[in-house]
Structure 1
């Protein structure tokens, strides 16, 4: 059974209950002698669930914590990603058995193998609605769409560099092969693009159709990025998640968040739908026409906060901020318990 550390009743995203400890009781005035190395350990765990948006510091209320609600593990312990913030800023006291394990490992978080990651996901979520698609089909049609201001050749080059740094590679790490194709208007006539001298130039000019690029996370794991222009000022970059198992899917989502974060200011919105409850095309109207589609709500939807667009049935949603964007997250009904 996975052990939990750093889940406090004040954390909104962690489905708190009265038995969870209060973070105020864990605050300490001074840091431990090895706190920097403990922070390195906490930050280097494997992320198995990625949450979008940000949550306000529950102690001072003066700072936003990006990705709060995401879950990290070392294979034995599970903690929320925001624990790093509270250890760094408030030197929160951690359980003795966790500290002993960190020190015994010489402050190096173990690599979590795929099988163990799958076990932890099943234990934490069970057969959750996040893992099951429409009609119970696992991960059917899952996607992660970002709507970005028209990307230039230079910005695409920066984005590809960011994807590489996050662990998503345009070439297969063993064979060196690249899978790049161009599709005509209406999704017809896909044509491979061989020996592209500049991948960024191809992505920056999808024409009336779309350009698709494989991004390799491992030798047997990839997501397909599909790029299309919505209008003269907006591009949709849609990453397929349908064929990824739970651990790989969450790691790929985390990598995409890291890579795309640098373009947050140029982002008009995004949609994260792990289970594929609706088509990615359904959400184009929200960006172009400010109209919420009549579709099952995905995991997260972000829109420009200044536009005043509100979803229907918002009582079942939580709201967080992500820069200039307002993020609406569908409440998890079977999330981790503190």
Structure 2
């Protein structure tokens, strides 16, 4: 699935219609049960859409839903609203073909429950032979402005030394073997240590023996350096495309916990969300070893400000990021997140910020 950028997700139920005479994006699959606390009661019910059998071309419809452009990547997961027996990672993420927009979990409900979709959407799907067209950057920006009214996470950095957009996850048992597994999972998710054209593995070094980025040959050596960098700061380049990468840094807090920080501040908004989407995919594979994570696209807060929150259950003192997750099995009281939306994600509780709500910090 292709990915690109979008602003902070402010509403699961944007209205359809026109803006200044222009046709707005069409919505499909926004059933009211997906977001009951903000449900539009005029929206259709998923229970009315369930069918005992799929259509003859259901596999093609599923292929189309999977081939759209992901324009927002949500952190966390939601339960199947029909059975309650299955978690859907990334539920709340949005996908488009440039004409239609749908929640990413729609694929699940069509596949498992044979949810019936509107005929005008199915006509679009069939006319393309079940492959969603590519969506241009200009069209994505139009959809962003229409649905979200801008990109509120594009500004607001606090000016502290270690700010700038970042995604940090707190992992246990970081060894050369687990670092190697981490690199493999990130590679599968779309963030590759090897440059897609040259095959080089590059990283920057600061501290003793530091210097500019240089090519290395062995990914195993890179995993060893990440697990035990000594007094040298190692920042590998993870490539999403030949001209798009994020730097990765490891901070070891103690013998049991290390923080893997992906820098997002130097990425443009479309590329930034591509990287975030890949990290969401990787996180789902490493969730059992994750003690918590923080996503702060705009760098509103200091990266180290979250160490005590994630590791000790302290209340946050920094401005709230886009998302933060804590281990609910370790901390019975999770305070300081009353203005954020709460969802479960395995053993983690994920809090999501909505900066477009009036008065939210």
TM-score (norm 1): 0.89
C-alpha displacement at 1:147, in angstroms? 0.5
Partner of 1:26: 49
Per the alignment, residue 183 of structure 1 pairs with 206
Could you tell me how far apart the structure 1 residues matched to 2:322 and 2:36 are? 13
Of the structure 1 ranges 62-71 and 10-19, higher mean CA displacement relative to structure 2 is found in 10-19
SS in 1 for 2:201: coil
For residue 216 of structure 2, the aligned residue among 195, 199, 215 is 195
Are residues 1:141 and 2:164 paired? yes
Q: In the alignment, is residue 257 of structure 1 matched against residue 280 of structure 2? A: yes
Whether the aligned pair in 1 keeps the contact of 2:328 and 2:349 (CA below 8 Å) is: yes
State the Cα distance separating 1:144 from its structure 2 match: 0.7
SS in structure 1 of the partner of residue 252 of structure 2: strand
Name the SS for the 1:250 alignment partner.
helix
TM-score normalised by length of structure 2: 0.83
Find the residue that maps to 1:226 and give its secondary structure.
strand
Which residue in 2 is equivalent to 1:48?
71
- Pair 23,38 (structure 1): closer, same or farther in 2 beyond 3 Å: same
| Match of residue 322 from structure 1 | 345
Q: Distance in 1 between matches of 2:150 and 2:190?
A: 28
Within 5 Å, give how 1:100-179 maps onto structure 2. Answer: 100-134=123-157, 141-179=164-202
1:309–1:333 distance in 2 versus 1, CA, 3 Å? farther
Secondary structure (helix, strand or coil) at the match of 1:314 reads coil
- Residues 235-254 of structure 1 mapped to structure 2, 5 A cutoff: 235-254=258-277
Unpaired segments ≥5 residues, structure 2: 1-23
Give the Cα–Cα distance (whole angstroms) in 2 for the partners of residues 169 and 70 of structure 1. Answer: 23
Most deviating of 99-108 and 147-156 = 147-156
CA RMSD of aligned residues (A): 2.4
Listed one character per residue, the Cα deviations across residues 238-297 of structure 1 (whole Å, up to 9, x for unaligned) are 111112233222221111121232211111110111121101111111233321331111
CA distance in 2, matches of 1:203, 1:143: 18
Q: Give distance in 2, aligned partners of 1:195 and 1:299.
A: 35
Partners of 1:155 and 1:134 lie apart in 2 by: 32
Give the direction of change, closer, same or farther, for the CA distance of 1:172–1:189 in structure 2 (3 Å limit): closer
1:270 corresponds to which residue?
A: 293
- 2:38 & 2:215 partners in 1: Cα distance? 49
Q: Secondary structure at the match of 2:33?
A: coil
Q: SS at the partner of 1:303? A: strand
Q: Does 1:36 align with 2:63?
A: no
Whole-Å separation in 2 of the counterparts to 1:80 and 1:153: 38
The equivalent of 2:249 in structure 1 is 226
Instruction: Report the Cα distance in structure 1 between the residues aligned to 2:332 and 2:126, rounded to whole angstroms.
Output: 49
Check the 8 A contact 1:170/1:178 in 2, yes or no: yes
CA distance in 2, matches of 1:192, 1:221: 15
Between 201-210 and 28-37, report the one with greater CA deviation.
201-210
Cα gap change, 1:190 to 1:229, in 2 (>3 Å) = farther
C-alpha distance in 2 between matches for 1:274 and 1:282: 15
Partner of 2:319: 296
Alpha-carbon offset, residue 102 of structure 1: 0.7
CA apart distance, 1:315:
3.0
Unaligned runs of 5+ in 1: none
SS at match of 2:226: helix
Residues in 2 aligned to 1:238 and 1:34: alpha-carbon distance in whole angstroms: 43
SS in 1 for 2:235: strand
Aligned-partner SS, 1:183: strand
Aligned residue pairs: how many? 329
The one of 64, 85, 98 equivalent to 1:62 is 85
1:206-253 deviation digits (Å, cap 9, x = unpaired): 225532111111222211111121111111111111122332222211
By how many angstroms is 1:181 displaced?
Answer: 2.5
